[in-house]
């Protein structure tokens, strides 16, 4: 089976790629940073030599449709799509810089929308497939300094719910994933030795588990929070 993962060069996306590869899935990967992406590919190919990995860098805030066209040009079945790419720009509606809402919507919503539209025709024809949208706890509850980021994640949640209803009749599953704080390089020098926040592998394991359910079951929502709650 083939899994497309955006934002795959680091953090949650990389962990999802490694988890699926460890279980024999073939990978189609993309991220904005070309060097980081190909370093990830080299690392995964060394760990999992039997897995077929294709990768190409795209800035999906501006080139989501081009990514979709490249995926389709591979002439391979897309069984699972993980819309993981995203960015966080802190701020508040009243004082964040001009253009932040537009850039957050482009990265966190429009990219998932356009890449999904690219792979849907094949899934609909086969009447199978699974789409994961990496939402956030910020999709469920507004918080201080969330601003345009939270707005864009609420929108991604709405997209996921709408898509779920549309795709039921075609046998295509849609899962929205809502992680709380996850330890990635964006946390800098944060000391997580006491496991105050989650590991990226925690999210990856849940995505894999949802992908392996029978055709009779769809995990519509996966909410993951640190054991001690949000920070």
Which residues are catalytically annotated?
Answer: 149
DSSP for 44-91, written as a single string? HHHH-TTS-EEE----HHHHHHHHHHHHHHT-----EEEE--------
Task: Please give the C-alpha separations between residue 45 and each of 4, 75, 207, 230, in angstroms, as whole numbers.
Answer: 16, 21, 21, 35
DSSP-derived letter for residue 116 is H
Q: Is 9 helix (H, G, I), strand (E, B) or coil?
A: coil
Residue 190 burial (C-beta neighbours within 10 Å; 0-12, 13-18, 19+): middle
User: Which tokens go with 176?
Assistant: 């929205």
């Amino acid at each position: 089976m083939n899994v497309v993962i955006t934002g795959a060069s680091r953090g949650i996306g990389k962990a999802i790629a490694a988890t699926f590869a460890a279980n024999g899935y073939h990978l189609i990967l993309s991220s904005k940073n070309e060097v980081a992406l190909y370093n990830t590919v080299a690392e995964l190919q060394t760990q999992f030599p039997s897995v077929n990995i294709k990768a190409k860098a795209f800035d999906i805030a501006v080139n989501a449709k081009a990514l979709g066209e490249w995926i389709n040009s591979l002439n391979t079945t897309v069984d699972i799509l993980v819309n993981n790419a995203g960015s966080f720009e802190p701020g508040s509606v009243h004082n964040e810089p001009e253009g932040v809402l537009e850039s957050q919507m482009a990265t966190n919503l429009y990219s998932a929308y356009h890449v999904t539209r690219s792979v849907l025709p094949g899934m609909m024809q086969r009447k199978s497939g699974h789409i994961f949208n990496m939402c956030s706890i910020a999709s469920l509850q507004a918080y201080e300094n969330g601003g345009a980021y939270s707005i864009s994640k609420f929108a991604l949640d709405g997209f996921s719910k709408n898509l779920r209803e549309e795709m039921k009749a075609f046998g295509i599953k849609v899962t929205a994933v809502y992680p709380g704080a996850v330890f990635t390089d964006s946390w800098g020098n944060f000391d997580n030795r006491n496991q105050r926040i989650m590991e990226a592998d925690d999210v990856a394991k849940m995505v894999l588990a949802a992908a392996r359910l029978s055709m009779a079951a769809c995990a519509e929502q996966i909410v993951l929070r640190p054991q001690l709650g949000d920070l």
